[in-house]
Amino acid sequence: MSIKANANVQDAAYTSFYHDAFVRLKKDKVAIACLVFIVLLILVAIFAPLIAPYEEGYQDTSAILEGPSSKHWLGTDEFGRDILTRIIYGSRISLSVGLIAEAIAVTIGVFLGALAGYYGGKIDAVISRIIEVFASFPHILFAIVIMFVLGTGVINVFLAIGFVGWTGIARIIRAQVMQLKEKEFVEAARASGGSDLKIILRHLIPNCLSTIIVVVTMAIPSDIMYEASLSFLGLGVQPPVSSWGEMISMARKYLRTNPTYSVFPGIALVLTVLAFNLLGDALRDALDPKLKNL
Amino acid sequence: MTDKQPLLKVRNLCTYFYTDEGIVYALDDVSFDVARGQTLGIVGESGSGKSVTALSIMRLVQTPPGRIVSGTVELLGDDILKKSKKEMKQIRGGKIGMIFQEPMTSLNPVYTVGNQIMESILLHGDCDRKQARERAIEMLRLVGIPLPEKRFGEYPHQLSGGMRQRVMIAIALSCNPQLLICDEPTTALDVTIQAQILELINELKQKTGASVIMITHDLGVISRVADEVLVMYAGKAMEYGSARDVFTQPRHPYTAALLKSIPNLEDDVERLHVIEGMVPSLSKRPAGCLFNPRCKHVMPVCREKRPALTAGPDGRLVRCFLQSDAIEKEEAHA
Amino acid sequence: MPEQEVLMAVERLDKWFPVRKMGRARGYVKAVNDVSLQIRRGETLGIVGESGCGKTTLGRAMIRLTDVTDGRVVFDGQDITHLSEKELRPLRRDMQIIFQDPYSSLNPRMTVGDIISEPLVFQNMYTPAERIERVRELMDLCGLDPIYIRRYPHEFSGGQRQRIGIARAIAVNPKFVLCDEPVSALDVSIQSQVINLLMDLQSRTGIAYAFISHNLNVVYHVSRRIAVLYLGRVVELADREDFKTNRAHPYTKALFEAIPQVGFDEQQKRAPLTGDLPSPVDLPDGCVFHTRCPYTQPRCRTEVPELREIDRGHFVACHLV
């Protein structure tokens, strides 16, 4: 009996949900290009000292504000620092802002969203109001206020952006948990004596995972932009640490004398943001076709 | 099956779905007739192709991935597979009415019930709004809805499931169709309501002289309403004949096993008869007879050759080597 | 019925859901009203009724997946009506549930092994290694090949998924399993496989079932006794044989006559019941069935009929019987 009943399973190759999603993702050429770009970017950030043509902070006093040349591929800034080197080191800040700030946002968002969605009632009402209060401020303004309070510095940039960005994911997780908790497998877990915490951790959050992945990929570029904006406004990363936003901010003064100074960090920023956004789109289609309207 | 010209004549209808996993043979070489004023029951499990049959007749198969590959569907000698999209719109809801399983999703929640019946009347008949309104109320009365004038102005969510299905029937019948296709019309309803709806369909068939195709997985429903029955399995017709004969003396092992596997109040058995295994995947069909992996009477030939649908002396068509040695011709579209 | 034989007893149970409008309770959906019934060890009680008759709510209240408005639920001699979720936890080992929908009842992100072993994990039974052994044994018992232990639910058909759900329910060796429409979502040819499996498991382990279904044929086949529910009330409760030969309540009669049977006998041509179910928010006074009953008397409109024993073990709630 059992052999017969399982005949169809045998036909199908062993696949997990994420394997299927990856197969779908592989068909999307743009997504793969973006993925390759992001992986390369991460490698560049990790191995910056090996890749960069000059040491961080090296000043070539013979070449101030020069355009691209064989010595300095992307030119130099007002202190004679190599722009390519600074962009490479700047990718460290941009990526870690994306990852760490988003990790903070996801932790807060998933936790509060799951609580609100699972318990409903008063807990939901309170958390939902908090979300609304946070979401009603313009994000960048809110981040500026936090930076004023905390002071400038890399860690504070992470915190400020993380605190600003959790509301979106909290809302999505709340809605998804509300749907999921009606499913019979949640009831089955309750009927077997599972505690609320175990149900949330074993059943609800894993089923939100694909949503979380998609939301995170889509949120990273805006985090990178916030960091760039904060640094551009002089509230983020402080010189001599280089970040793309800070570079664009400094280059503003030399727009006439050396326009490429601002263009190259700008291109790096745009390409990175674009890559994450396109990958996010593709992941959404691959992981969860239902999220089409996200 | 009758000597007079049938209302609907379906011949060698094939509808395939072209998917990433390969070709899904959803409907493979199916032929049947529906005589005037008769009810044909199409019975089968999920994936048997019974709903695709209805969609193919209505030309509502989603393309792509689906495509009607070959065959003819003649309504009074006129092949509707050759009609233009515009002509099809007139036929759908005009000459052919259709009732779906889920009355809630087939009705538009933002329009009143009356509005939706009127819309169908205005689309297919030439009459003004006032006449259409009167006709709509008359239709509501016909399908046994109490206080039709009041119900006319109500929204679908204000009605019960049985009432909604009555409204669907009213819409389907509003243009005097010659053929009514019912796809699982009572599956979402309770038994006492189901009995009412089946009774209504039977009654209206008598009154209007329309033919009915009743598609369902419920053999009990079929045996209550159908004159003829077509048993489908994995996209193919397995047995086709008069309902009384097929249900009392099934000839195909699948029909027989299916009948035996339903619990029945009349013959009380200790253990239910079981059809082992499950419906084959329509993209990876077994060699030979499609039912052979689950058949109790399987013979070596069943595993190699596809049996043909052949007529017995009484005109009953059966696709089984126990009945006839005839082998199906190679599929032209594989 | 001797006390020690009774496993699950429901006494005058009410379950009402408040209907809120603008944040205030504006009445109640009276899903279950004054229901009393008992399930003996090792037997199957069938619970039938149409949608909205409260059969699912009644089942959920029995195993305390929902709170009870009034009345008592006694399981294995212990009053569990007001136990908290935490106090119920150890009792969950003895009462389990099998669901209707083989798709939504299995977590799509867990492997079959994890799904089946979950009750064992929650109940702290066996060591992790023993659990895997137990899961293999259960899969084998339920007609699934244990080599698929690491597969995900979406790789299985509806019938196989239902087997997984059954294996999960019996993993902890429960005394009582609530089967909530366990075969309604399955194909006809698969239904009989699952019904036979449930009955085999019962004869092997002596589990008691409450078998909820709208399908009378199925309930009649699996049950020893049957309770017929209408609008949250038990209208008839009797041994299965009585339902074949001796139906007493007009609703039961109509219900059984309404099932389309395969075959062609004339008794099927009876007039079907007219009208719709009244709204459970606004229940009719008197007998709940009087709005559709062909034999309604003035008394039926005012007086609620009690569930009376008309014959040994045959209970009916009707003034006319």
CA B37 to chain centroid = 15
Name the more confident of B16 and B90: B16
Shortest distance between the Cα of C255 and any Cα of chain B, in A, equals: 6
Compare CB distances from C260 to B217, B223, B272 and report the shortest one's residue: B223
Residues A224-251: tens digit of each pLDDT = 888 888 888 888 887 778 888 888 888 8
Residues C52-108: tens digit of each pLDDT = 788 889 999 999 999 999 999 999 999 999 999 899 999 999 999 999 888 889 998
Lowest mean pLDDT among A119-128, B119-128, B295-304, C39-48: B119-128
| CB < 8 Å from B in window 216-235 of C | 216-218, 220-222
B278 chain-A contacts, CB cut-off 8 A? 5, 7-8
Mutate to test the interface with A, among C109, C112, C160, C184 (most CBs of A within 10 A): C109
Shortest distance between the Cα of C243 and any Cα of chain B, in A, equals: 9
- Number of other CB atoms surrounding residue B36 within 10 Å: 16
Is residue B245 within 8 A of residue B222, CB to CB? The reply is: no
The sign of the CA dihedral A60, A61, A66, A69 is negative
Pull the structure tokens for residue B179.
Answer: 């053929």
Does position A59 have pLDDT exceeding 90, yes or no?
no
Does position B58 have pLDDT exceeding 50, yes or no?
yes
Query: For residue C123, what is the enclosing H or E element?
Result: none
Q: What's the pTM?
A: 0.83
Domain boundaries, chain C: 3-94+174-316, 108-173
Distance CA A141, CA A139 (A): 5
Does position A290 have pLDDT exceeding 70, yes or no?
no
> % helix / strand / coil in chain A, to the nearest 5?
75, 0, 25
Compare CB distances from B217 to C160, C188, C196 and report the shortest one's residue: C188
Compare CB distances from A184 to C89, C105, C163 and report the shortest one's residue: C105
Provide mean pLDDT across the span C273-284.
78
Does position B268 have pLDDT exceeding 80, yes or no?
no
Q: Which residue has the tokens 């019941």?
A: C273
**Residue of C112, C94, C91 lying closest to C102 (CA atoms):** C112
- C107 touching B (Cβ < 8 Å): no
Give the pLDDT score at A3: 35
A7 chain-B contacts, CB cut-off 8 A? 277-278, 293
DSSP A100: I
B256 chain-C contacts, CB cut-off 8 A? none
Distance CA B58, CA A36 (A): 48
Distance CA B15, CA B235 (A): 9
Compare CB distances from B192 to C157, C221, C272 and report the shortest one's residue: C272
**Residue of C183, C178, C218 lying closest to C92 (CA atoms):** C178
Is residue C232 within 8 A of residue C32, CB to CB? The reply is: yes
Residues A6-50: tens digit of each pLDDT = 334 433 344 566 777 788 788 888 999 999 999 999 999 999 889
Query: For residue C284, what is the enclosing H or E element?
Result: none
Provide mean pLDDT across the span A143-152.
86
The full length of chain C comes to: 321
- Per-residue b or e along C72-85, where b marks 16 or more CB atoms closer than 10 Å to that residue's CB: ebbbbeeebbeeee
Q: In what order do the strands lie in the sheet with C70-75?
A: C24-40, C6-21, C70-75, C78-79
Distance CA A62, CA C107 (A): 66
Q: What structural domains and CATH numbers belong to chain A?
A: 21-58+70-291 (1.10.3720.10)
A to C CB pairs, distance under 8 Å: 96
- A277 touching C (Cβ < 8 Å): no
Name the residue of chain C whose CA is nearest to A183's CA: C104
Pull the structure tokens for residue A88.
Answer: 């490479």
Name the residue of chain B whose CA is nearest to C195's CA: B272
Taking CA atoms, A218 is separated from A22, A98, A112, A228, A282, in Å, by 18, 10, 20, 17, 10
Provide mean pLDDT across the span A197-226.
88
- B41 touching C (Cβ < 8 Å): no
Q: In what order do the strands lie in the sheet with C233-239?
A: C95-98, C176-180, C208-213, C44-48, C225-230, C233-239, C314-316, C308-311
Upstream peptide bond of A239 is cis (omega within 30 degrees of 0): no
Does position B84 have pLDDT exceeding 90, yes or no?
no
Distance CA A96, CA A176 (A): 28
Q: In what order do the strands lie in the sheet with B236-242?
A: B96-99, B179-183, B211-216, B39-43, B228-233, B236-242, B317-318, B310-311
Taking CA atoms, A83 is separated from A6, A248, A264, C58, in Å, by 62, 11, 8, 73
Query: For residue C261, what is the enclosing H or E element?
Result: none
Distance CA C300, CA C280 (A): 18
Taking CA atoms, B183 is separated from A85, B38, B89, B144, C88, in Å, by 69, 16, 19, 21, 45
Pull the structure tokens for residue B97.
Answer: 């009415």
Contacting subunits of A (3+ beta carbon pairs below 8 A) = B, C
- C193 touching B (Cβ < 8 Å): yes
Compare CB distances from C258 to B191, B244, B275 and report the shortest one's residue: B191
Q: Which residue has the tokens 């006559």?
A: C257
Give the pLDDT score at A292: 42
Name the residue of chain C whose CA is nearest to B269's CA: C221
Say whether B53 sits in a helix, a strand or coil.
helix
Mutate to test the interface with C, among B190, B200, B275 (most CBs of C within 10 A): B190
Judge residue B303's burial from the number of C-beta atoms within 10 Å of its C-beta, 0-12 exposed, 13-18 middle, 19 or more buried.
middle
- C110 touching A (Cβ < 8 Å): yes
Distance CA C60, CA C69 (A): 13
Given this structure, which CATH class describes domain C3-94+174-316? alpha beta
Name the residue of chain C whose CA is nearest to A210's CA: C109
Sequence-separated (6 or more) residues with CB below 8 Å from residue A104: A158, A159, A161, A162, A163, A166
Provide mean pLDDT across the span A259-270.
89
Judge residue C91's burial from the number of C-beta atoms within 10 Å of its C-beta, 0-12 exposed, 13-18 middle, 19 or more buried.
middle
Shortest distance between the Cα of A155 and any Cα of chain B, in A, equals: 48
- C261 touching B (Cβ < 8 Å): yes
DSSP B327: B
Judge residue C24's burial from the number of C-beta atoms within 10 Å of its C-beta, 0-12 exposed, 13-18 middle, 19 or more buried.
exposed
Taking CA atoms, C135 is separated from A265, B41, C128, in Å, by 57, 44, 11
Provide mean pLDDT across the span C122-128.
91
- A9 touching C (Cβ < 8 Å): yes
Pull the structure tokens for residue C49.
Answer: 């009724």
Distance CA C130, CA C118 (A): 13
Say whether B294 sits in a helix, a strand or coil.
helix
Shortest distance between the Cα of B160 and any Cα of chain C, in A, equals: 8
